[in-house]
Structure 1
Amino acid sequence: MKHRFRNLIVLFTASVVLAFAFNFFLLPHEVLSGGVTGLAMIFGLLTPLSSGIWLIVFNIPVLIIGWMKLGKEFIANSVFSVAVTSVAMLYVPVLQVTEDALLSSVFGGVIVGACIGTIIRFYGSTGGFDVIGLVLTLKRDLPLGVLVFGLNSLVVFASGFFFTWELALYTLASIYITGIVVDRIHTRHIKLSLMVVTDQDQKLRGELIGNLIRGITVMNAQGGYSNEERKVLYTVISRYELALVKSIIQDVDPRAFVSVTETVEVLGNFRRS
């Protein structure tokens, strides 16, 4: 319950800050965010309805797809995040922090990327192409920010058509920066090879399997200096799981020898979700 409450607080804070980034940095210069949010901004600028209203309308079909592919908790968090952002955009005034469109694009992109990355890190999304990108990353180990940047490029052409191509380029720069920041925070696509040399293999193996739901290969080993028998546990984890793994190993066998290396690619039966 406490963990759930903490997650909601983080999601709420990031969603509100996201609304401020939109209304303070991007919308005043008609610099758009990407994907569904960008489309909502376009319709908000072209119609009497607020971008927050359009954000809800466009996200309904996308969230239905996420419900089927990513689970109820994820979609519940996403609906919460989208709702908070949409309501906040209704009440946060559209203010121009700086007259420099490029500066607004850069800072807006950084803040939006940090907020989106944090929301995804805490098992939610801002809807739109975030959900589509996360569904695709279940099949392929692709950087989410790069994937979403490719999808969001469609918004650049839309903004160029409806507004000016100069603003479209600012939008492209903002989306690109957002993608980079998202990838700095969302690192699930990065895989790590974990090798642990221990004499507490039974207990450690049980703890790792119970907490990670991953297969582990056990190999016999002998100390080159001590000649003592040891076991080597080998598995592949995501970067998200590293902190948990280190905590488990420290509790079970503080004297274990641990080697962690980044893995370029994983083939075969690997649980990506």
Structure 2
Amino acid sequence: MRINFKRFIMINLGIIIMALGLYYFLLPENLAVGGAIGIAMVINNIFKFMPIGIIMVIVNIFLFILAFLVIGRDFGGYTIYSSFLLSAIIYLLEIITPLKAPITEDLLINLIYGIIIQGIGMAIIFSQNASTGGTDIIAKIINKFTHLDIGKALLLSDFAIILMATFTFGIKLGLYALLGLIINAYVIDNIIARFNEKLNIIIISDKSREINDYIINEIQRGTTIYTANGGFSRSEKTIISTVVGKGQYIRIKSYAQSIDSGVFITMGLVNEVLGEGFNLK
């Protein structure tokens, strides 16, 4: 499997962020908010001699084969890496900074901060077509076949774990965990939407040929060119339309303004793009 270093770095960043949210906020409060970590917390509460990180490894193994068979080798390979690294980081944190009590005494604060931090990490990982294993794999399968947003699919797949957590830790923690799942779904879906956002640019300029060449050759994006008549000037105008990322838009705008001080540019957000040069989902 060929390694994409940008993707690899993003996945590692997501795993680190997720581990911090879990270990310092959710685990000390026994907030089992689904996934392999939720199962591990339930088992750890019964068999306290078993470290949570080790339990997560055992739980994840059973779902790896499913990931390879249903979703593919690429997703399966990165999922194995992500799940083992997450387990290792949590196990390392248990050794280096063992927690005897939650960071704060407020359960709701721990829930909100833990879920938001964890959700940011999970969103980064999901955006790179990977997961941390466990029920994330089930959520990805649901997403693949139903096109349900990944956060909502995760909420659906983790509901059974919330029921187990309710019986293990009590109805209060169970209800808090359910609230956490709902927040988690919202955070993940909204952050992934930000990752997928592109910009639809409309450019009208007397230097349209130069700008079009710049977009194609320097930005390496396709364009659509069409002509229209100006409602005020009554003159014919050449219009360039293209879809690019935010960084590419800044470069295009800067170049267009440098060669034509009178250039007219409009920009609109696009939440999904399908086609050549963009991810097909």
TM-score (norm 2): 0.72
**Distance in 1 separating the partners of 2:144 and 2:44:** 32
Indicate conservation of the 8 Å contact 2:15/2:121, yes or no: yes
Q: Does 1:257 align with 2:265?
A: yes
Amino acid at match of 1:243: K
Label 1:120 to 1:266 Cα distance change in 2 as closer, same or farther (>3 A). closer
Amino acid at match of 1:55: M
**Distance in 2 separating the partners of 1:122 and 1:268:** 18
Structure 1 unaligned runs (5+)?
Answer: 236-240
> Deviation of residue 157 (structure 1)?
0.9
**Distance in 1 separating the partners of 2:117 and 2:199:** 32
> Deviation of residue 38 (structure 1)?
1.4
Percent same amino acid at aligned positions?
23
Structure 2 unaligned runs (5+)?
Answer: 258-262
Indicate conservation of the 8 Å contact 2:35/2:135, yes or no: yes
Label 1:169 to 1:27 Cα distance change in 2 as closer, same or farther (>3 A). same
**Distance in 1 separating the partners of 2:69 and 2:218:** 29
**Distance in 2 separating the partners of 1:98 and 1:50:** 23
Amino acid at match of 1:98: T
- Rg bigger for which structure? 2
Aligned ranges 1:75-224 → 2 under 5 Å = 75-93=76-94, 94-95=98-99, 96=101, 97-138=103-144, 142-187=148-193, 194=200, 196-197=202-203, 199-200=208-209, 203=213, 219-224=226-231
Match of 1:60 in 2: 61
Q: CA RMSD in A?
A: 3.9
Q: Which moved more, 1:249-258 or 1:111-120?
A: 249-258
Label 1:123 to 1:268 Cα distance change in 2 as closer, same or farther (>3 A). closer
CA deviation vs aligned residue, 1:57-96 (integer Å, no higher than 9, x gap): 3323434444455554444333222111111222222512
- Count residues with an aligned counterpart: 262
Three-state SS of the structure 1 residue aligned to 2:193 is: coil
Aligned ranges 1:6-21 → 2 under 5 Å = 7-21=7-21
Three-state SS of the structure 2 residue aligned to 1:52 is: helix
Label 1:150 to 1:89 Cα distance change in 2 as closer, same or farther (>3 A). same
Indicate conservation of the 8 Å contact 1:208/1:248, yes or no: no
**Distance in 2 separating the partners of 1:37 and 1:64:** 19
Match of 1:246 in 2: 249
Q: Which moved more, 1:3-12 or 1:114-123?
A: 3-12
> Deviation of residue 127 (structure 1)?
2.0
Q: Which moved more, 1:109-118 or 1:196-205?
A: 196-205
Match of 1:38 in 2: 38
> Deviation of residue 32 (structure 1)?
0.8
Indicate conservation of the 8 Å contact 2:273/2:279, yes or no: no
